[in-house]
Structure 1
Amino acid sequence: MNLRKVVTIVDETLLEGGREVDPVARVAVVAAIIDNPWAGQGFVENLNAGIDEVAPQLGQLLAPRVMEALGVPLEAFGKAAIVGLNGEIEHGSGLIHTLKFGNYFRDAANASTLLPAVEKRGPAGTTFDIPLKHFTDATIRSHHQSYEVRIADAPHPDEILIALAGASRGRPQQRLAALNTEQ
């Protein structure tokens, strides 16, 4: 894996709707910008060798950094793959939609659900929203949220930006009824 850059973002919401947020809502995002392992090869029929090599390295790199940056117990999580313009969306999807990547985060967070994801192709500075859901029960509405990210110089055309995000709680001031009230 050729790693160019790691970016860490920590966001704390103290007020929402004119009211104090207690406890403070924290979101941490850690993104790795890597060379696309399939760049310059044309259409690659079988992505497995690259996935097997790179996905575990990304999981090992990103998962502990998100947990450390969050600094409090995680309650919601998500992931993203943004592929530079010379790559295919499938290149990013291959790296994040494998247990060889996601299990590192699930294990670090003691999570049991699958991570929601966003994948897209775009130029450097592309804005993307990482979806977040509860880490043990994806039906808990209060934790359905997204976090907007933009890294000005990534991804370059032959790069992939891979990110993990974690939140300390659900949406600040959430007031929706539980899903089971509508079933």
Structure 2
Amino acid sequence: MAKVQPRKILIAVEEIYHEGGPVAETPLLRGAIMAVIKNPFAGRYEPDIQWFMEDLKPLGREMASRLVERLGGAEAIEAYGKAALIGENGELEHGALWHAPGGYAMRETLGDAKAIVPSSKKVVGVGGRLDVPVTHINASYVRSHFDSMEVSINDAPRADEMALVLVMTTGPRIHSRSGGLEAWDIKGEDGLK
């Protein structure tokens, strides 16, 4: 088993007051935490990679806790997403190893979140950018919470690294008015509606 030691961690929080419409009394907070780690499979094809998910679990829990704290506590979080940026000597499948550790860490930290955690992944060069999709934590069909956050770190991921990402928000898009299922109409039975 590999010891997961981040080279660096970045936390970014946006405070969104308006998108050209009325100014909100309370801003929408949209935050991301990114951990840049060594990719133990960089530079070679390795058939057995699933064991690395266990190693990533503690990092996922730490990242989720830190981001939740920055955004005002678990009760404030309404939407989430996750992603992985894989350095050039890695492969897309290495980023897929973040699905379970990152997703379950957020759900565990938030308590009773029911919806699947949306995700994206991409092999990039240093400074590569990626949009992280975001949906409501309890019902994926809540249209007001369909969102994304673009993430990047100027010196990462290096060719033998991965940047693992968690994103959370404190509410719907600031001027949401596109209709569909509303948060107050969630049934909470299956993570969809």
Q: TM-score w.r.t. structure 2 length?
A: 0.86
For 1:50 and 1:59, how far apart are their aligned partners in 2?
A: 12
1:91 aligns with one of 90, 94, 98: 94
CA contact (8 A) 1:80 1:130 kept: yes
CA distance in 2: counterparts of 1:165 and 1:39, whole angstroms: 25
Count of residues paired in the alignment: 176
| 1:139-180 deviation digits (Å, cap 9, x = unpaired) | 000000111112101100000000101000010111111149
1:130 aligns with 2:146: no
- Give the aligned residue type for 2:31: A
Name the SS of the counterpart of 1:102 in structure 2.
helix
Tell me if the contact between 1:78 and 1:166 (Cα under 8 Å) persists in the aligned partners: yes
Which residue of the partner structure matches residue 82 of structure 1? 85
Give the match's secondary structure for 1:32: strand
**Structure-1 separation of matches of 2:28 and 2:53:** 34
1:146 aligns with 2:117: no
SS in 2 for 1:20: coil
Q: Secondary structure at the match of 2:27?
A: strand
Q: Which amino acid aligns with 1:141?
A: R
Identity of aligned residues (%): 34
Q: CA deviation at 1:85?
A: 0.3
> Which deviates the most, 110-119 or 164-173?
110-119
Contact (CA 8 Å) 1:38, 1:50: kept in 2 or not? no
Please state how far the C-alpha of 1:23 moved relative to its aligned partner: 2.6
SS at match of 2:23: strand
* Equivalent position amino acid for 2:80 in 1: F
The structure where strand makes up a greater share of residues is 1
- The residue number in structure 2 matching 1:71 is 72
Between the aligned partners of 2:130 and 2:77, the Cα distance in structure 1 is: 21
How far has the Cα of 1:105 moved from its partner? 0.7
Among 110, 114, 117, the residue aligned to 1:115: 117
Q: Which aligned runs of 4 or more in structure 1 are off by greater than 4 angstroms?
A: none
Other structure's SS at 2:173 match? coil
Is it true that 1:20 corresponds to 2:23 in the alignment? Answer: yes
Query: Could you tell me the TM-score, scaled by structure 1's length?
Result: 0.91
Q: Distance in 2 between matches of 1:75 and 1:179?
A: 14
Could you tell me which amino acid in structure 1 is paired with residue 145 of structure 2? H
Helix, strand or coil at the partner of 1:147: strand
Matched AA of 1:67: V
Query: SS of the residue aligned with 1:33?
Result: strand
| Secondary structure of the structure 2 residue equivalent to 1:51 | helix
After TM superposition, give the deviation of residue 127 of structure 1 in Å: 1.1
Structure 2: give runs of 5+ residues left out of the alignment: 183-193
Q: Structure 1, residues 89-139: CA drift from partner, whole Å, max 9, x if none?
A: 100111x222x4422210211211111001000011111111100000000
Segments of structure 1 that go 5 or more residues without pairing to the other structure are none
1:49 and 1:104 map into 2 onto residues whose CA distance is 17
Q: Does the CA-based 8 Å contact 1:82-1:119 persist in structure 2?
A: yes
Letter of the 1:88 counterpart: E
Task: Choose the corresponding residue for 1:36, options 27, 35, 39.
Answer: 39
